[in-house]
A and B are shown apart, each in its own frame.
Chain A
Amino acid sequence: MKLYEYIIRRLILMIFVLLGISLIVFYLARGFPSGIDPVTPYIHSKMTAEQIEMVRKIHGFDQPLAIQFFYWIRDILQGDWGITGTWANSRPTNVVFFSHFPYTVELSVAATILTVAIGLPLGIISALKNNKLPDHVSRIIALAGYSVPAYWFGFVLQLVFFYYLSLWGLPHLPSSGASGMEGVVSCITGMPVLDGILAGNLGYTLDALAHLILPAFSLSFISMGFLTRIVRAGMLEVLRQDYITLARSKGLTERVVIYRHALKNALIPAVTLTGMFFALLLGGAMITEYVFAWPGVGQISLRAVFQGDSNFLLVYTLVTAAIIVIANLIVDVLYVFLDPRIKY
């Protein structure tokens, strides 16, 4: 099978997976009378019962579930994603989603960079000093990373780097939000850091970066552990192989053996993990965004849950699932370039 055939096969499969996801979530969101009423975003408190019934009829919420699903899919494909409730000023769902999405992208990119920048060296050191002190230390950091409750870690960071530093009169980091200077530069990409750079406004950029540090570190600490462990395992596996012994016996320096020969092969599982982690983050890190009041899609979706807004929830789930499925595909295709032994 050629690579492009494989990609086409996967894309076709993806349609079915996305259809399955929409079926499940649609059924969850609309199939139960005890749950969210789909008419909620379209009504307000001053409407009479008859008017509400009329709205229900207009939007087809009185139809059988299968027909509602068909209408919903048709509308999604035509670009009509419905409107949100009054909690988001009844704006179209896609407008709400994509106005908050850049914030999530910025946070995800920052968190992923930090994860790789800290987790990768830690994993390599851990493998090279196998079962020695650095290995134990990195193991404990990794374990702490995936045992820590996200809300707690964010809170401790806020307490230390915002509250106590400011209490003692030291320079401190902002505790919440994505930017303290709203409206100073024009919104081009929607990502504060990038907008600041594009506008050439150093103060704004630095302020946006300061807002980014704590939430990004909080997220990366959690995923760093997984990356460290997988890099360590990969390195240990590769270092045992014959070609490494050969490289050493050729007289190559340890540096070249490790960074040029071993690392490249050890990184393959790490690439998958990082890709999946990035995709998951693009779906919004609900807890961290909530704790740091970060205006990303995770926090917005949480509000939609509590406001009973099924339009937003359905779109949100579908888009994030699509991101994850596409990321999966990209990672699998990347494999071919990283490891020439793999053929599809």
Chain B
Amino acid sequence: MENSEVGTTKSEWAARWADLKYTLYLLRKNPLVMAGIFMTFFFIALMFLANYIVDPKLANPAGYPEFGGNYPFQRSYVWSKGNIINWGPGIHLYEGPEFFLLGTDGWGRDLLKMIVLAIPVDIENAIIITLGAAAFGTLLGALAGYVGGVIDEVVLRITDIFLSIPYLILALVFATMFGRTIETLRFSILLVFWPTYVRLMRGQILSEKEKSYVEALKALGAGHARVLFGHIIPNSIYPVLVQATLDFGSVVLTFSALMFLGFSPSPSLPELGNLASDGYFHIFDAPWLMMFSGLTMLLIALAFNLLGDGLRDVLDPRIRR
């Protein structure tokens, strides 16, 4: 088979293994990256476990049978008495049977529980958006770079256009036109992030397709699809992975910013931007809403940015050794 002729030999695998071990060593050596990895794992784990830690029914009126199937509005925007933080005057202290570590929101729900329920919503959506944008952008960029000519020019001009529209207004206009659903929001943010990947992948492909192994593959009779998808794209995918990790932080921030600005499908949806938005008109009498939902957002974005920043350093051959 031609596979054995072009494929990797045994010693090459050994070299790759050594390379991987060195990469892992570099990662272990960097405390910031390790912090990023642990935080990322923590949030991903929370994403899967949130619904088991906190009953998701608590986000809806159905979770409060003791209040007759209504939200417990009588305890909205309250702060438990005896809590460590003293916010100053003007806040409602709560002396009921329950203790709210992070206070309650406008619906009288426990903010800590809502944040736990919100984390999967944010991370899940950000993963879908980032993967969607990366996949679409990479494919288009690879095609543009590989085929070249008119297609390349047209694709580049289209990315120019998308990069020139202020990103928030593009997402806002799109979300206004198609209604406030999660799908619309996902698509509107995807619309903002895909052009970067086109540029990135196109640049990679342009230098990769001139290399001699591509010529060798073609001489062996490999088709375009096999050369592109089997060899060129896998060989130039690392920068895309790093970019995606770095973008993840921005995506999660943009998603919650849109929610904060009022594009949420439902104001009671437990989502970090939405919870913060609930606190916008109560910043002095219920500051915990903004404070803790924003802080969680910051930690999620920081986790992925630390990871992406470290990965870039480790995988970049110029800084590496």
Q: Give A residues with C-beta under 8 Å from B.
A: 16-17, 20-21, 24-25, 28-29, 32, 34-36, 136, 139-140, 143-144, 146-153, 155-156, 158-159, 163-164, 167, 280, 283-284, 286-287, 290-291, 301-302, 305-306, 308, 313, 316-317, 320-321, 324-325, 328
Contacts of A34 in B (CB 8 A): 177-179
Interface positions, chain B 154-177, Cβ under 8 Å from A, are 157-158, 160-162, 164-166, 168-170, 172-174, 176-177
Q: A143-B32, A147-B305, A167-B88 are in contact. List 12 more A-B contacts (CB 8 A).
A: A25-B173, A146-B305, A148-B298, A149-B276, A149-B298, A151-B290, A159-B284, A163-B283, A287-B257, A313-B169, A320-B166, A321-B164
Distance, CA A239 to CA B290, complexed state (A): 44
**Chain B residues positioned under 8 Å from A24 (CB to CB):** 161-162, 165
Q: Of the candidates A17, A151, A302, which one forms a contact with B157 in the assembled complex, judged by CB atoms under 8 Å apart? A: A17
Say yes or no: A146 contacts B297, CB within 8 Å.
no
What string of 1s and 0s marks CB contacts (under 8 Å) between B44-80 and chain A?
Answer: 0000000000000000000000000000000000000
CB pairs A–B below 8 angstroms (21 shown): A17-B160, A17-B161, A24-B161, A28-B173, A34-B178, A34-B179, A35-B176, A36-B177, A136-B32, A147-B301, A149-B260, A149-B276, A149-B301, A151-B294, A163-B88, A287-B260, A302-B172, A305-B172, A313-B173, A317-B169, A321-B166
Asked if B262 is at the interface of the complex by the 8 Å CB criterion, the answer is yes
- Tell me whether A325 and B164 are in contact (CB under 8 A): yes
Question: Is B208 located at the chain interface by the 8 A CB criterion?
Answer: no
Q: In whole angstroms, how far apart are the Cα atoms of A143 and B294 in the complex?
A: 16
Q: A32-B178, A306-B262, A308-B176 are in contact. Are A21 and B165 (CB under 8 A)?
A: yes
Which residues of B have CB within 8 Å of A305?
172-173, 176
Residues from chain B with Cβ under 8 Å of A139 in the complex: 32, 309
Cβ contacts under 8 Å, A32 to chain B? 177-178
* B256 / chain A contacts, CB cutoff of 8 Å: 149
Closest chain A CB from B262 CB (angstroms) = 7
Q: How far is the CB of A12 from chain B (nearest CB, A)?
A: 12
List B254-310 residues whose CB lies under 8 Å from chain A.
Answer: 256-257, 260-262, 273, 276, 280, 283-284, 287, 290-291, 293-295, 297-298, 301-302, 305-306, 309
Contact among A36, A136, A155, A306 for B294, CB-based, below 8 A: A155
Q: Is the CB of A158 within 8 A of B283?
A: yes
Docked pose: A28 CA to B173 CA in angstroms: 7
Determine the distance from Cα of A164 to Cα of B312 in the docked complex, in whole angstroms. 41
B164 and A301 within 8 A (CB): no
Rounded to whole angstroms, the CA-CA distance of A148 and B300 in the bound complex is 10
Which residues of B211-263 are within 8 A (CB) of A? 249-250, 253, 256-257, 260-262
Q: Is the CB of A147 within 8 A of B178?
A: no
Contact B306 A317 (CB under 8 A): no
7 closest Cβ contacts across the A-B interface?
Answer: A152-B294, A35-B177, A147-B301, A147-B302, A20-B161, A283-B166, A321-B164
Interface-centre pick from B32, B165, B249, B262 (highest chain A CB count, 10 A): B165
The answer on a CB contact under 8 Å between B291 and A156 is yes
Q: How far is the CB of A30 from chain B (nearest CB, A)?
A: 9
Q: Report B94 CB to chain A, min CB distance, Å.
A: 21
Contacts of A147 in B (CB 8 A): 249, 253, 298, 301-302, 305
User: A317 contacts B301, CB within 8 Å?
Assistant: no
CB of B295 within 8 A of CB of A152, answer yes
Q: A34 → chain B, closest Cβ, in Å? A: 7
How many A-B pairs with Cβ below 8 Å?
Answer: 143
B262 neighbours in A (Cβ, 8 Å): 306
Closest B residue to A146 by CB, please name it: B305
State A28–B184 Cα separation when bound (angstroms): 13
Interface of A: prevailing SS: helix
For A28, A152, A306, the residue with the greatest tally of chain B CB atoms inside 10 Å of its CB is: A152
A284 to B166, CA, bound (A): 9
Whether A151 lies near B161 (C-beta < 8 A) is no
Decide if A143 touches B176 in the complex (CB within 8 Å): no
Contact at B294–A20, with CB atoms within 8 Å?
no
Contact for A321 among B32, B165, B172, B176, CB less than 8 A: B165
CB of B173 within 8 A of CB of A159, answer: no
Among B160, B161, B284, B297, chain A packs the most CB atoms within 10 A around the CB of: B161
Q: Decide: B165 and A25 in contact? CB cutoff 8 A.
A: yes
Minimum CB–CB distance for B35 against chain A, Å = 10
Indicate if the CB atoms of B261 and A28 lie closer than 8 Å. Answer: no
Measured between beta carbons, the chain A residues less than 8 angstroms from B178 are 32, 34-35
Residues of A within 8 A of B160 (CB): 17, 20
**Closest residue of A by beta carbon distance from B174:** A28
Q: Which of A20, A36, A164, A291 has the most CB of B within 10 A?
A: A20
Q: Point out the residues of chain A lying under 8 angstroms from B273, CB to CB.
A: 149, 151
| Given A17-B160, A21-B161, also A283-B169 (CB < 8 A) | yes
On chain B, the residues within 8 Å of A325 by CB distance are 164
Chain B residues, Cβ within 8 Å of A146: 249-250, 301, 305
Contact among A144, A167, A287 with B261 in the assembled complex (CB-CB below 8 Å): A287
Bound complex: CA of A24 vs CA of B157, how far in Å?
Answer: 13
B301 touches A155 (CB 8 A): no
| Smallest CB separation, B159 vs chain A (Å) | 10
- Known A-B contacts A28-B174, A284-B166; A20 and B157 likewise in contact (beta carbons under 8 Å): yes
Q: What's the least CB distance linking B265 to chain A, in Å? A: 15
Nearest A residue to B168 via CB reads A286
Question: Please, which residues of chain B bring their CB within 8 A of the CB of A301?
Answer: 169, 172
Q: How many Å from the CB of B221 to the closest CB on chain A?
A: 40
* B295 cross-chain contacts in A, Cβ below 8 A: 152
Name, among A151, A280, A325, the residue most crowded by chain B CB atoms within 10 Å (CB to CB).
Answer: A151
When A146-B249, A324-B164, A324-B166 are in contact, do A36 and B176 touch as well, CB less than 8 Å?
yes
Partner of A155, one of B89, B165, B283, B309: B283
